[in-house]
Structure 1
Amino acid sequence: METIFKILAVGCGGALGALARWGISASPLNSVFEKFPFPTFLVNIVGSFLIGLFLILFADKYVVSDNARLFVFIGFLGAFTTFSTFELEIWTLIKEGHFVTSLLYLLSSVVVGFVGLIGGVWLGRQFAG
C-alpha cells in the first residue's frame, strides 16, 4: 500500500508540474522575445528557486512525509523544470544559426538559475528562523 501512495504522490505532483509548465509555455510570455525561449528560461529559474526554498523548508522548518517530498521534488518540480527542453532549444538555436543567442541562453540560464537556487535557500532560511 505504501508503494501506491508513493506512485500517487509522484504522479499527482508530476501532473500539476506539467500543467504549470504548459500554462507558462502557452502564455503570452512566448512572445516577449523573438528568438529567446523565455518561457523555458522562466520555468528553469523558478524551478531552481523553488528547489532551494523547499530544500531548506523541508529540512529546517517543517516536518514533511516522504510522500510530500516525492510530490514536490520528484513529481511537481521534476515535471515543471525543463532542462531536456532547454538542451533541445539550445541545439535548435545553433542549428538555425543563432549561435550568440544560444550561448547567451545557455550561460544566463545556468548562472541565473544558480542565483535562484541561492535565493530560495536564503528565503527558506529566513522562514526557518
Structure 2
Amino acid sequence: MSQLVWVAVGGAVGAVARYGVSNGVYGWLGRGFPWGTLAVNFFGSFLMGLLFVLMVERTALPLELRSTILVGGLGAFTTFSTFSIETLQLIEKGAWSLAALNMFASVSVCIAAVWAGVWMARMI
C-alpha cells in the first residue's frame, strides 16, 4: 500500500509541474499550436531516459523511490492523452498540416529526447 501512496505523491507533483510548464510555454509561444504539450512530452521523455538509466541501470534505488519519480511524477508530467485530444481538435478544425506536424514532432522529438537522456546518463 505504501508504494501506491508514493506513486500518488509523485503524480501530484508531476501534474502540478505539467500545469506550470505547459502554461508557461503557452504564455510564451501562444496557443496556435500545442507547444505546451510538446514541451512537457519532450522534457518528460528526456528525463525518463536519463533517470531510468541512473535509477534502474546504475543504482539500486528503492522501488518506492523509482515508482514515485518514474511512474507517478513523470507519468503525470507527460501528457499523451492531452496530445491526442489536441491533435484531434486540429483535425476537426481542418488544420491537417498542423495535426501532422504535431504527430510527427511529438513522436520523433520525444523518441530522440529519451534516447538523448539514455545516452547522457550512460556517458556519466
Q: TM-score range by the shorter chain?
A: over 0.9
Number of the residue aligned with 1:47: 44
Matching of residues 42-121 of structure 1 within 5 Å: 42-121=39-118
Deviates more, 1:53-62 or 1:89-98: 53-62
Output the CA distance in 1 between the equivalents of 2:31 and 2:12.
29
Unaligned runs of 5+ in 1: none
Per the normalisation by structure 1, the TM-score is 0.90
Structure showing greater radius of gyration is 1
Q: Give the number of aligned pairs.
A: 123
| Aligned structure 1 segments of 4 or more residues deviating by more than 3 angstroms | none
Per the normalisation by structure 2, the TM-score is 0.94
Secondary structure at the residue paired with 1:52?
A: helix
Identity %: 37
Output the CA distance in 2 between the equivalents of 1:41 and 1:66.
29
Number of the residue aligned with 2:16: 19
Number of the residue aligned with 1:30: 26
Unaligned runs of 5+ in 2: none
Q: How far apart are residue 62 of structure 1 and its match?
A: 2.1
